[in-house]
Amino acid sequence: QVQLVESGGGLVQPGGSLRLSCAASGSIFSINFMGWYRQAPGKERELVATITNGGSTNYAESVKGRFTISRDNAKNTGYLQMNSLKPEDTAVYYCNALIHRDGRFDGYWGQGTQVTVSS
């Protein structure tokens, strides 16, 4: 069984930084695609950033220049470095991964980690 576990969320003041981690565990051959999404109260879940197994990245316009997505393939772990945080970044952040195991690709979600930006 595969699990994605996020960590690193918390309360931070505007202008501050946080680093989220997403660790995949279980019988995994490889991770093809990883992404971070977020959902604020009363809003739909939205894409924040994605990274392929080759390292190509994509960002939502609202976070470009402030957030950086990365991954450590040896550790089956993805990261989201968030700098210059704003109150509108407050949301539950979810990790998503397309994982290759047992000869097939399946998508998995983590349980989410709360990020609150407030003074």
> What band does 30 get if pLDDT is binned at 50, 70 and 90?
confident
d(CA 43, CA 21): 23
Q: Report the pLDDT value the prediction gives residue 61, as an integer from 0 to 100.
A: 98
d(CA 119, CA 103): 48
Residue type (1 letter), 21: S
Read off the pLDDT of residues 33-88 as tens digits, 9 standing for 90 and up. Answer: 999 999 999 999 999 999 998 899 999 999 999 999 999 999 999 999 999 999 99
Query: Which residues lie closer than 8 Å to 15 by C-beta, 6 or more apart?
Result: 84, 85
Which is nearest to 22 in space by CA: 38, 11, 44?
Answer: 38
Residue 119 clears pLDDT 90, i.e. is over it: yes
Cα–Cα distances in angstroms (integers) from residue 106 to residues 40, 66, 72, 109, 114, in the given order: 26, 30, 20, 10, 25
Q: Report the pLDDT value the prediction gives residue 27, as an integer from 0 to 100.
A: 85
